[in-house]
Amino acid sequence: MVSVPEIWEEVAVTENIIELKGLTRRYGSFTAVDSLDLAIEKGEIFGLLGPNGAGKSTTILMMLGLTEPDGGTVRVCGFDPVSDPVEVKRRVGYLPEEVGFYDDLTGMENLTYTARLNGFSANDARAKAEELIQRVGLTGEAGKKTGKYSRGMRQRLGLADVLIKDPEVIILDEPTLGIDPAGVREFLELIVGLSREQKITVLFSSHHLHQVQQVCDRVGIFVKGKLLAVGDVQSLAAQLFSGEGRPAGSERKDYSLDDIYFRYFEGGVDHE
């Protein structure tokens, strides 16, 4: 017999923390996001994989309440970003492609400033900044001005910055662009560790095939404003390659994400 606490624990594990239904955004006659339905579970790392211009960033802006949809609904942590943008911002950390800091301040000073803006006392802000600097692997660079940081260091500092408010969700929009391969690997390992240890939900938006494949529990194939399919590699293959006229019993069982990617992006996007 299952006790009540166990039932509630199971429900919490499987609840959707992001829900998009019929989400649509147009710019004049151009439809950037077309009737998007998507549910992301609490604690998972979800990859939104598509070429530049597919509508990924527009979708993210609607999740954050920075762009209003022309149709459909958005719920993030149970709140509507249009009517409750402040509640969404309290619960969601956003790391854009380009992270902005005060370049004449050190990494520690930038983080302390952000902590103060989030209501921490001076002492608590310093302690929080020191904790996060260590967590993202920048302890030796904390006293360096951020104007001297490499792109990889800035992204790590940006991740520390969004973690200050202990978010339930982190949204990463092309976070590894311009980072060297070793830095990319370390950054992705950091993301996975944070998600697993703290049960943070991560939305990882990228056009980099193998990065998404390495870290994500599920992947959504996003092309020209439409979500073509969602799942792991095998379920994506079943959805995307079915009905192509093969004789019964001859279906391939060894599809990779490369097959899926280049079949639906027409080989027009570089990958790592």
- The full set of domain ranges for the chain reads 4-231
Q: Kindly give the residue spans of alpha helices, DSSP state H, lying in 43-84.
A: 56-64
Which of these, 107, 108, 106, 126, lies nearest to 116 by C-alpha position?
Answer: 126
- For residues 13 and 164, give the distance between their C-alpha atoms in angstroms, rounded to a whole number: 24
pLDDT at 16 over 50: yes
256 compared with 162, residue with greater pLDDT:
162
Sheet strands (E) in 15-145: 16-27, 30-41, 45-49, 71-76, 92-95
- The Cα 86–Cα 67 span in angstroms is 14
Q: For 19-33, 77-91, 208-222, which range has the lowest pLDDT when averaged over its residues?
A: 208-222
Average pLDDT over residues 168-185: 90
Q: What would the CATH number be for the domain defined by 4-231?
A: 3.40.50.300
Placement of tokens 């002492």 in the chain? 123
Q: Edge to edge, what strands does the sheet with 218-223 contain?
A: 92-95, 169-173, 201-206, 45-49, 218-223, 226-231
More confident residue, 54 or 248: 54
3-state secondary structure of 61: helix
pTM of the model as a whole: 0.83
Q: Are 79 and 54 in contact (CB under 8 A)?
A: no
Q: Check residue 197 and give its pLDDT.
A: 87
Cα–Cα distance measured from residue 77 to residue 49, given in angstroms and rounded to the nearest whole number? 22
Please, which pLDDT band fits residue 13 given cuts at 50, 70 and 90? very low
| Number of other residues whose CB lies within 10 A of the CB of residue 156 | 26
Which regions of the chain does DSSP assign to beta strands (E)?
16-27, 30-41, 45-49, 71-76, 92-95, 169-173, 201-206, 218-223, 226-231
Distances (CA, A) of 68 to 37, 64, 71, 91: 16, 9, 9, 19
pLDDT tens for 60-69 read 999 999 999 9
Terminal Cα-to-Cα distance of the chain (whole angstroms)? 49
Q: Which residue has the tokens 């950054």?
A: 187
Q: Is 71 exposed, middle or buried (0-12, 13-18, 19+ CB in 10 A)?
A: middle
How far is Cα 79 from Cα 6, in angstroms, rounded to an integer?
A: 26
Write down the pLDDT at residue 269.
39
Q: What's residue 22's pLDDT? A: 97
Label residue 254 by pLDDT band (50, 70, 90): low
Positive or negative: CA dihedral 112, 114, 115, 120: positive
